[in-house]
Amino acid sequence: MPKALENLRQDFPLLARYPELVYLNSAATSQKPLRVIEALARYYKEQNASIHRGAYTLSAQASEAYEEARRTLARFIGAQAHEVIFVRNTTEALNLVAYAWGLRNLREGDVILLSEMEHHANLVPWHLVAERTGAVVRGIPLHPEGRLDLSSLKDLLTERVRVVGLTHVSNVLGTVNPVAQVAQVARAVGALVVVDGAQSAPHMPVRVRELGADFYAFSGHKMLGPTGIGVLWGRAEILQNLPPFLGGGGMIGEVYLDRSTYAAPPARFEAGTPAVAEAIGLAAAAEYLMEVGLNRVWQHEQELLQYALKRLDEELPEVRTFGPRGADRGGVIPFTLGHLHAHDVATALDQQGIAVRAGHHCAQPLHRWLGVPATVRASFYIYTTHEDIDRFIEALKKVRDFFKDWL
């Protein structure tokens, strides 16, 4: 019988250690359940060896554990194991696509179309590749409530568009973008569809093929897993023809002094000794999430989100929240309090044991569009409770009362 989500906190040693901590920064990084921490420790205590290289039993076992982790992650997103590439994080995954695909395929005047709510991880790699290839970056604009302006796609999606890069869920607004719908029209003009899944993979069921994307990237550390490990999923038929991003051991076919041939995917994209323990830890996190059920995770966060928004609306009129109000919104609340700077609000909350993030959240174009330099962001996850929200609201009221003459 799965446990009620309100009781999961005890599975997380850090949260158990600090019972007074209200951790509302899971969009930046999540806490880790004991099972993940133990999977890492067990690997080092019982299996540690160089993988895919040694002829000895321990190496074969470690290699098998790493490949088993790949199969688990494939199951997690409804993909084939050979389409799952282990990388360090979403940032590295998106750089891999931009460099490996972009440098080979983009030409002067080609268009890279990115939404105005992208994280810098899905902007800067494209800027770097645009500089080298002469391609240009254009934006998909937003409606005032923080949804994509889909009507703009008719004019934007010309034959020159070679890449459409889109976040599945905004790390600031929580907006769930209609990826399948955008992917369909983007692919109709022959554009590559690259989805940033950093904020969707941890929180909702994702079947990559149904999204209609060509690439989907996510980070382990935001989905209960270790840091230093993430996944790039790519369509097998695209990976097959994609040149490597990094070169070195483990990714080759044959190497001569002056040239090399490359291994088939996914090995082609995993140069050097991989993060074996972290991949195994991430698989333990994926198993944990699948046991709880991603639908329940989503439902739980929806309930918390609606509860928190209602209380903020009714009890704190000085708080301005951003993001769409509807079912297409994840458990993230960006806000400002009067004219106070976001960092002052976050510091005052921290003094009351509430951990939130303040700043531009690596989305400067979006904040320019919002018209504020920074927001405070409260984000929820599987272990967040109604009591956490209550303590957050009460703490925010104290901040408001303390600063009332400056609001």
Residue 72 or 200 having the CB closest to ligand PMP: 200
Q: How many whole angstroms separate alpha carbon 90 and alpha carbon 122?
A: 9
Residues marked as catalytic? 362
Q: How many whole angstroms separate alpha carbon 313 and alpha carbon 110?
A: 45
Residue 225 or 244 having the CB closest to ligand PMP: 225
Q: How far is the CB of 366 from ligand PMP (least distance, A)?
A: 11
Q: How far is the CB of 272 from ligand PMP (least distance, A)?
A: 18
Question: Where does this chain bind ligand PMP (CB under 6 A)?
Answer: 27-28, 89-91, 119, 121, 167, 171, 196, 198-199, 219, 362
Residue 221 or 400 having the CB closest to ligand PMP: 221
Residue 231 or 348 having the CB closest to ligand PMP: 231
Residue 28 or 137 having the CB closest to ligand PMP: 28
Q: How many whole angstroms separate alpha carbon 217 and alpha carbon 269?
A: 14
